[in-house]
Amino acid sequence: MKTIIQRVSSASVSIDGNIHGRIDHGLLILICAQPQDTEAEADRLLNKLLKLRIFSDDAGKMNRSVQDVNGGLLIVSQFTLAADVWSGNRPGFSGAAEPKHAEKLYDYFIASARNAHPVVETGVFGADMKISLINDGPVTIPIEL
């Protein structure tokens, strides 16, 4: 799975002008399933994200996790993370999982996140979404498992 996470002061996702999900401080998680991904990769990714120490402690060091700071998760599917731009000028997306497989993993990831963490908001798989965020730091980290 390919993921971009951003530590945010706030973030929201809107669909057709209506806010669908919103968090205060926490993580914006842009996630892309790849053809070979399974629920095991989704589990590993969620475990990593919940424990990743990228929030500041009292000394200003990145030493706290999203769980430690009671932050929210805003999870948004984004197949364009699998873009291949090396040949030509139009990106190819053959590195992304087929929609049926990707949606199944996205739904599984969300359900698992909701079981493990108290504040989980989402986008809608396959929807045209607008994301607003205030990146805190800025801290933006790509993760591929």
Considering the candidates 3, 6, 79, 122, report the single residue annotated as catalytic.
79
**Element holding 43 (H helix, E strand):** helix 39-51
Look up residue 52 and give its amino acid. Answer: L
CB 143 within 8 A of CB 30: no
Reply yes or no on whether 109 is catalytic: no
Considering the candidates 38, 80, 93, 140, report the single residue annotated as catalytic.
80
Q: How many CB atoms within 10 Å of residue 21?
A: 21
Record the tokens describing residue 38, joined without a space: 């399974």
Reply yes or no on whether 80 is catalytic: yes
Look up residue 75 and give its amino acid. Answer: I
Reply yes or no on whether 140 is catalytic: no
CB 15 within 8 A of CB 129: yes
Considering the candidates 3, 6, 34, 78, report the single residue annotated as catalytic.
78
Q: Which residues are catalytic?
A: 78-80
